Amino acid sequence: MTRAAQKCHITQPTASMQLRELSLSIGLPLYEVIGKKIHLTDIGKELAATARAMLGEWNAFQQVTDRTKGLSRGELRVAVVSTAKYFIPRMLGRFCETYPEIDIKLDVFNRDGVIQALRENKVDLAVMSVPPSDLDVETEMFLNNPLVVIAPPHHPLTKQHNIPLSVLANEAFILREEGSGTRMMAERFFAAHGIRPRVKLNLGSNEAIKEAVAGGLGCAVLSHHAVAAYRIDGSIAVLDVEGFPIQSQWFTVTLHGKRLGPIAAMFRNDLREMSKEISASFKF
């Protein structure tokens, strides 16, 4: 409550009073206090989502008026899954070079966190490889996301070519956490080919997996974007396995019916153009 008051440039008692008056005007409790912490009720969460939608519409209108005046300024709110952090910041950097007056808010979450940000209308658009099936969204593919098998550099399979997929059934695997887009794609691929990988570890970040693989704990399936630097320094190796790389894609995801402001629309268009250069650099 104190932080909310500070952000609104009012005193804490004033903020508390206004929130109580808002609850009275709606006729339902918006929050409850449990152990000195404030928790939104279901109707409070609905009001918060509505307020964010109203603010988003107003910001979009301001961007339209600025564009009409020949100005390009405002805020761009983007949420990405953790693997996208290997290329989206560079794309945002180039975007900001063209539009230096735009403020960027970039959040990096796991897949569940990105979906929650979309659900609560906290972002203009999201970037992920496996869009949610339980949320009404609009998607647009803009970049390939090849998934590769990695192993320690001293692994015997690093010297082989066109390794039969069945050989992987004998290898220990380190996978991302349940719900990860990379894991979902890998499991679908293995299941389609009748392979049940022997899972030794589940880890919640690409960095932890790459370090575990480099340390000799097993093999893994990760995005090409996530392994490039490790591959260059020789701490991991990419295996030449039958059926790999798995052809996945990156998508921009927005809530269905959400009216994108000019800034978000410009960024989505720029992603298409910048992705062509990235795709051209892929070598397998």
Q: What is the CATH number of the domain that holds 82?
A: 3.40.190.10
Percent of residues in the chain assigned helix, strand, coil, to nearest 5: 45, 25, 30
Q: Report d(CA 33, CA 254) in Å as an integer.
A: 33
Same domain, 116 and 156: no
Same domain, 216 and 75: no
- pLDDT score, position 16: 86
129: helix, strand or coil: coil
Same domain, 151 and 190: yes
Bridge-partner residues for 32, per DSSP?
39
Same domain, 214 and 263: no
Torsion angle (degrees, nearest 10) of CA 39, 121, 248, 235: -50
- With beta carbons less than 8 A apart as the criterion, state whether 81 and 127 touch: yes
Question: Token pair of 18, please?
Answer: 């206004």
* Structural domains in the chain (count): 2
Question: Any idea what DSSP says for residue 246?
Answer: B
Same domain, 154 and 223: yes
246's CB contacts (< 8 A; 6+ apart) are: 146, 147, 185, 186, 189, 221
For the question of whether the overall pTM of this predicted structure is more than 0.75, the answer is: no
Residue 172 lies in a domain: yes
Residue 130 lies in a domain: yes
| Angle in degrees, CA 157, 162, 168, rounded to 5 | 50
- The radius of gyration of the chain from alpha carbons, rounded to an integer in Å, stands at 23
Same domain, 137 and 198: no
Place of tokens 């735009």: 102
Residue 125 lies in a domain: yes
Same domain, 231 and 254: no
Residue among 174, 249, 247 nearest 213 (CA): 174
- pLDDT score, position 281: 63
Question: What is the chain's mean pLDDT, rounded?
Answer: 88
Same domain, 82 and 114: yes
Same domain, 139 and 256: yes
pLDDT below 70 — which residues of the chain? 67-72, 231-232, 280-284
User: Given CA atoms 173, 176, 178, 181 in this order, what sign does their dihedral have?
Assistant: negative
- pLDDT score, position 69: 62
Q: Report d(CA 60, CA 260) in Å as an integer.
A: 7
Residue 30 lies in a domain: no
Residue 55 lies in a domain: no
Q: Report d(CA 155, CA 63) in Å as an integer.
A: 54
Same domain, 219 and 103: no
Same domain, 92 and 229: no
- pLDDT score, position 165: 92
Residue type, 202: N
Residue 124 lies in a domain: yes
- pLDDT score, position 197: 87
Residue 50 lies in a domain: no
Same domain, 167 and 227: yes
> For the purposes of burial, counting CB atoms within 10 Å of the CB of 77, is it exposed (0-12), middle (13-18) or buried (19 or more)?
buried
Tell me which residue range forms the domain holding 180: 147-238
Question: Any idea what DSSP says for residue 179?
Answer: T
Residue 63 lies in a domain: no
